[in-house]
Structure 1
């Protein structure tokens, strides 16, 4: 494909008339667009981006822009995807799917305040769009408007009563507001709708734990692990719950198994170290903590040692 673009455009040199140029431009546009589509399908994303970009230099085409956004996203060129989406919305300001696509890109760029504006625009166009209410709730949660998030999720659920993600998110928001009892019916509904979704069991486990129902919480964390033995959150939650219940030997044995499955599991080393420290095994605790920091030098355990380097080397400071 090295000489593709050169040969493509050289064919138009002898086209002198306006009609001939227009026909040749349309031909080149079509070739570039569909060659880009084929390239994208087989994973040649960089070449697809080049094709779509060259095609758009010939003709501003909404569909081709959409393909370009997808290619940019695949290539993790999120800012360029946003630039293209901005132009698409200039062309068709009422195109709901484009607005929702821009919302997804804005989330990736942590521009949650801008998400809310786009969701409001979608709702203005389609008040019954349950996804827009849900996405606006996600943004409000991140920006600190928890009550607004609950209101939006309630609207989303009213529009779509089998909206699993909305029940799950509302349960998470209520839990964050320390309203575990109010959160429980939502997470029960989410589990009934998606019984194979491990995240729902994690959230229910956290709710049970917040309410003091530790055995029920342990069962939920184990259910999540049964669905996915590599779920790190479930592993840490179950292990730390064993520590909370002062079942230190069980906690250590549990983390032993987790580390055997995944030897680079930094957080598991840290939590096993905490259990060992509570048992009085200072040497074992230190070695686990040291291993955790080696595996994740930017993690929370490492941050606890900032300014404590000498104490760490002398094993005189254990931030458990």
Structure 2
């Protein structure tokens, strides 16, 4: 009996097709879990290689998910989208995959395409607040402000403590000059999350639009109290001082901001603006030059396009 059992086992082991399947599965498992370990250790390039080789052996939905995550970390958004497209082909109604695809479309500035994906998710699950919120973001970017407000209102109706939706609706309403409605939304957030710096920043902008410079300044200063490195708050405070013709205060304020962050290109530009208004053309030129060095793709650099000769002669300032 032992001899016969051994004989049959040998015959079974020598089946080439079965042996190939076993080896493929073994290699797939090794590559997949080597990739998972590499990803956890931050070895993203090696993780991508492992997942890609594993998928060459076997098309596996979970491994595709890992590969998408690795591509996102590696800032390979187009490659992540290609994998997600295949995942949607395999499972057209997988909500997490569809929502991940929306976020990748945002990163690739394909907001119009994101809207249709969000609509599909809503068809699958009308009670899910996330696609309504993401669709509102896409509509805001594509210029459909009223549609964005409608979607955000639906988002809040589905989840009334989703404060990101209140903030985004307030921002859209501010851009539509619906200041009281915007203020109500942002104050709802501040009441519930009193340490949310973006809420104070937005309320300050609303106050500024209302002409309440005292309230705006207080809110911008509150943001810096919560986060001394918030560049938006620093810029808004400095600009408010300039608008109020407090040029020396503005220059002193930007001096401190630059001391705290020497790579703060926009602070140099705004300090240069204040110096220019005081008649300090030399100081303004040096600040503008430094701003462009730090941020060659920024707003000031774009304004200088075609003005290089005048810039070198200090005869043109884009303020």
TM-score under structure 2 normalisation? 0.92
Structure 2 distance, partners of 1:142, 1:308, is 31
Aligned to 1:221: 220
What does 1:252-263 align with in structure 2 at a 5 Å threshold?
A: 252-263=251-262
Report matched runs for 1:15-54 at 5 Å: 16-54=15-53
Q: Distance in 2 between matches of 1:106 and 1:17?
A: 45
CA shift, 1:280, in A, is: 2.6
Tell me the residue number matched to 2:102: 103
- How do residues 1-320 of structure 1 correspond to structure 2 at under 5 angstroms? 16-320=15-319
Deviation at 1:46, TM superposition (A): 1.5
Q: CA deviation at 1:279?
A: 2.1
- What secondary structure sits across from 1:233 in the alignment? helix
Question: 2: CA distance between counterparts of 1:60 and 1:169?
Answer: 39
Alignment length (residue pairs): 307
How far apart are 1:60 and its partner, in Å? 1.2
Q: Structure 1 residue 16: deviation in Å?
A: 4.2
1:243 is displaced (CA, Å) by 0.8
Relative distance call for 1:41 and 1:241 in structure 2 (3 A) is same
Give 1:15 shift: 5.7
Deviates more, 1:242-251 or 1:122-131: 242-251
Counterparts in 2 of 1:241 and 1:61: CA distance versus 1, 3 Å: same
Q: How far off its partner does 1:312 sit?
A: 2.4
Matches of 1:161 and 1:50, distance apart in 2: 43
Change (3 A) 1:315 1:53: closer
**Counterpart Cα distance in 2 of 1:223 and 1:232:** 13
Secondary structure of 1:263 counterpart: coil
Aligned-pair distance for 1:193?
2.9
Moved more, 103-112 or 294-303: 294-303
**Matched residues in 2 for 1:297 and 1:173: separation?**
30
**Partners of 2:302 and 2:227 in 1: how far apart?**
30
- Partner of 1:79: helix, strand, or coil? helix
Alignment partner, residue 10 of structure 2: none
* Aligned counterparts of 2:85 and 2:45: Cα–Cα separation in 1: 21
Sort the Cα spacing of 1:303 and 1:36 in 2 relative to 1 into closer, same or farther, 3 A.
Answer: closer
Greater shift after overlay, 186-195 or 136-145?
A: 186-195
Unaligned runs of 5+ in 1: 1-13
Cα 1:316/1:44, change in 2 over 3 Å: closer
Give the CA deviation at 1:310: 3.2
Cα separation, 1, equivalents of 2:126 and 2:103? 19
Larger Rg: 2
Which has the larger displacement, 201-210 or 53-62?
A: 53-62
1:291 Cα deviation from its structure 2 partner: 2.4
Is contact 1:136–1:149 with CA below 8 Å preserved after alignment?
yes
After superposition, the CA RMSD in angstroms is 1.5
Shift of 1:287: 2.5
**Offset, 1:146:** 0.6
Instruction: Decide whether the 8 Å contact of 1:15 with 1:21 is kept in 2.
Output: no
CA 62–297 in structure 1, closer or farther in 2 if over 3 Å, else same:
closer
- Once the two structures are overlaid, the 10-residue window that deviates more, 146-155 or 180-189, is 180-189
- Using a 3 Å threshold, how does the CA distance of structure 1 residues 15 and 205 change in structure 2: closer, same or farther? farther
**TM-score calculated relative to the size of structure 1:** 0.92
Contact 1:82 1:102 in 2 (8 A): yes
Distance 1:148 1:273 in 2: 40
